[in-house]
Structure 1
Amino acid sequence: MAAAAAVVTGTATTAAAQPLYPIPDPDPFYAAPPDLERAEPGDILGVRPMPPIMAFPDTAVTMVKFRSTNSAGSPIAATTTVLTPRGHRPDGPLLSYQHIINGLGSKCAVSRVLYTSDPNLQVREAVALNAVLARGWSIALPDHLGPTFAYGAAKLGGLITLDGIRAVRKVGELTLAASPVAMLGYSGGGMATSWAAALAPKYAPELPIVGAAEGGVPMNLVKMTEGLGYQRHPVFGLALAAAIGLEREYPKQLPVSEYMNPLGLLLRDQIANGCTNEILAAGAGRSVLDLANSTTLVGSPEARAVVEENSLELFDGTPKMPIFEWHAPVDALIPTDSIDNTMHRYCAAGVTVQAELFPSPDHLTTAVLGIPSAVNWIDARFRGEPAPTNC
């Protein structure tokens, strides 16, 4: 549902309403330094060791702050958390894992969730990540929504992912300077992963990325917005969160708050710092018509351009690395034809693509079914085996 950015509707009756940004994290480590503009993408802005995490035994934890770039091309400070297993060898494999983040506030950051009892991390993610750590790989977990938690801004996630990889390879004590790198992510994490793969040839061509595994990726936010339309939906909260997040990243092109009615502003304020459960509860069963001032969506060229800019199916760049892609044949949350179209375009451009279907009852089950195959595919890339293709 990641792009009901077109919640902008009708004529504005609340023209004074401005984007609502998240409360800044109280930890000063997350803050941008005053000389940020002097740093280059991927430059280290801060490093600190972190306490052990119960879910990952025998693993050292390091947080790295680095300079990245937002959707407008301006410098931002971003963070990533590196897990280093006891069995790590200098210059051993590095996996950048883009976690699923359905959130608008700092408490939703992966670097924060790692130290909570979040069931998604402890049950689903920890099992997969511990299997990776057991192989001796280091894992980077970027906070890929950026400092304003611009949920829905898919291209931003790709930029932060690449700069996070750049940064951790520069931290001497992590001994990753010559490490081969792979990327993995599903759903929202798959958005960041797939965009990083597509942007890498021009944005970070120096990175030795051996492959990217991406699953359940929302690859066309225009289709998702049009598919949602005016109907009520049980997970409409995610669409509302995407509208709020995209407004934070594109406040002039997509002034969502100006076009919300009082209920819309109330719900916006309610979830502005919320994570998955709060967002889903607030938006359950609602629709665009409940929150906006008109019965018709505005055909704003500027608003549509934002949604198109974050739709990978419409992006003309292609990866140079091998791609492993998986999804369910039918997925109630995402248009799978957009995935198929994008993979066909990659194949036509000469990209080595292995695309797999995993019949599944729902979106998240597909993640669980596909991750073992994705990890084994990445392992083969780290071993230098030629990537298979079913283009």
Structure 2
Amino acid sequence: MVEKAGRLSLVAAVAVACLGGVVGGGAVAAAEPVSSFYQPPARFDSTPGAVIRQQPLPVFATVPGADGGWPVAGSQVLYTSRTQDGAPVAVSGTYLDATHPWQGPGERPTVVIAPGTAGQGDQCAMSVAFSTGMYADPVKLSLSANQEAIAAAAWSAAGARVFVTDHIGLGTPGIHTYVNRVESAHGVLDAARAAGNLSGDPDAPLVFWGYSQGGGATAAAAELQPTYAPELNLKGTWAGGPTADLTKVLERVDGTLIGGVIGFAINGFVERNPGLAQYVDEIASPTGRALLDELSDACVGDVIVKHPFLRTSTLTVDGRPILDHMREIPEVVAVLDEQRIGRLTPTSPVLITSGLNDDTVPYGQARQLATDWSDRGAAVTFRTNELPPILPGATLLNHFGPLLIDGYGMDSAVTWLLDRLAD
């Protein structure tokens, strides 16, 4: 186990970040179009993890550096990854080099953070909101927050290097392939490679951190790492509230505060599987098709404000939920089945956490992921958050509550990952 002093120092850093040390987090960036930085050149290095370009990014939404310097000098990064078909694709992200002495065990690690649901419009990319903590566009009436500010600030304050991926298609050209298992994994694993290239320490100890969509991304990355990126020195992964079985997730999220995210998933599936477009045209009403178009350029904050508690039955030609239609189309069933996480085997330890009463990402499918991996011989720790039901369907409490409880604290993902870094 990590020495108590080491635990307390890092937990203290987390507390500072959570209780107000994330200075500037309330600022709002002036609304500007997503910059040309996100547009990759016609030709770029196709090596996974290659850094295509980077530019300085002053980060206000974090704790000051060890010398008191603030804003912290970060970098916006464009790096190379792979689509599900193996084609090179440019992905954006944010890199924070270490500005504090490492307070944990062993060598200084790199922490790759996979964000939770941000949206599908380019303005929703985490790096767009990363500097000040918030991005607002009064023209589009669109709002996006840097929801990973606490995690990034906490690990940065503890002396780790931090890389936050935007996921494939957020900021960069094309539709964001929301909850696509393979592309989510590639984006995380190649972010780790890019971080190694930026730091000059590709062999540094590495941990993955993700919750909700991010938990699905880190879970997928953990099980693909042995074959896709075997050279990475991956010590441990936190997959909090992971989206491991999309059929069950789509069924649960329909009608919740963020039910509109189902549109993000449909748009992403059609982007990579154009043959599915005909079924969308058959199933969706004119209202449904218009909403899918709207959501392709929307953030999750927009879903909450403009379409709260959306039920997909209001978007179909016959008033049945979209998932009922999906189950009747073999091609769609196959695409959903391809997203199932748990059929490969991580070779490094994984912590899965899930709320027993999670009203957005079901507990049972997270528990099943742990069982599937354990049956394959993986080193899995599963923890249940027993927060009682509070306003079911409101998402903010029973889904995001466990993020704060399980992610931070004395017996949390932070301390579990510290133990993995201590071998």
Say whether the fold is shared (TM-score over 0.5). Answer: yes
Counterpart of 2:303? 279
Where do 5+ consecutive residues of structure 2 fail to align? 1-32, 66-71, 136-143, 391-397
Counterpart of 1:109? 125
1:176 to 181, 197, 201: 201
1:358 to 380, 385, 409: 385
Give distance in 2, aligned partners of 1:233 and 1:375. Answer: 29
CA contact (8 A) 1:152 1:243 kept: no
Residue type at the aligned position of 1:63:
Q
In the superposition, relative to structure 1, how do residues 33 and 133 fare at CA in structure 2: closer, same or farther (>3 Å)? same
CA contact (8 A) 2:111 2:209 kept: yes
1:243 counterpart = 2:290: no
After TM superposition, give the deviation of residue 343 of structure 1 in Å. Answer: 0.8
Counterpart of 1:261? 285
Give distance in 2, aligned partners of 1:199 and 1:143. Answer: 19
CA contact (8 A) 2:220 2:341 kept: yes
1:369 to 384, 393, 405: 405
1:93 to 103, 109, 116: 109
After TM superposition, give the deviation of residue 318 of structure 1 in Å. Answer: 1.2
CA contact (8 A) 1:68 1:163 kept: yes
Counterpart of 2:347? 320
1:347 counterpart = 2:374: yes
Counterpart of 2:139? none
Q: How does 1:328-343 map to 2 (within 5 A)?
A: 328-343=355-370
Counterpart of 1:18? none
CA contact (8 A) 2:78 2:90 kept: yes
Residue type at the aligned position of 2:383:
E
Give distance in 1, aligned partners of 2:357 and 2:257. Answer: 18
SS in 1 for 2:235: strand
2:89 to 76, 84, 87: 76
Q: Structure 2-normalised TM-score?
A: 0.77
After TM superposition, give the deviation of residue 235 of structure 1 in Å. Answer: 3.0
May I ask how many residue pairs the two structures share in their alignment? 353
CA contact (8 A) 2:62 2:152 kept: no
Residue type at the aligned position of 1:199:
L
Sequence identity percentage: 25
After TM superposition, give the deviation of residue 262 of structure 1 in Å. Answer: 1.4
1:137 counterpart = 2:164: no
Where do 5+ consecutive residues of structure 1 fail to align? 1-24, 385-391
Give distance in 2, aligned partners of 1:136 and 1:94. Answer: 10
After TM superposition, give the deviation of residue 288 of structure 1 in Å. Answer: 2.6
| Larger RCO, structures 1/2 (Cα 8 Å, 6+ apart) | 1
Residue type at the aligned position of 1:365:
G
Counterpart of 1:187? 212
Residue type at the aligned position of 1:40:
T
After TM superposition, give the deviation of residue 190 of structure 1 in Å. Answer: 0.5
CA contact (8 A) 1:181 1:208 kept: yes
Give distance in 2, aligned partners of 1:279 and 1:256. Answer: 24
1:310 to 303, 315, 339: 339
Counterpart of 1:51? 58
Give distance in 2, aligned partners of 1:382 and 1:253. Answer: 44
CA contact (8 A) 1:158 1:193 kept: yes
After TM superposition, give the deviation of residue 319 of structure 1 in Å. Answer: 0.5
Moved more, 302-311 or 188-197: 302-311
Give distance in 2, aligned partners of 1:68 and 1:237. Answer: 28
Counterpart of 2:417? 378
After TM superposition, give the deviation of residue 116 of structure 1 in Å. Answer: 4.2
In the superposition, relative to structure 1, how do residues 64 and 324 fare at CA in structure 2: closer, same or farther (>3 Å)? same
CA contact (8 A) 1:102 1:188 kept: no
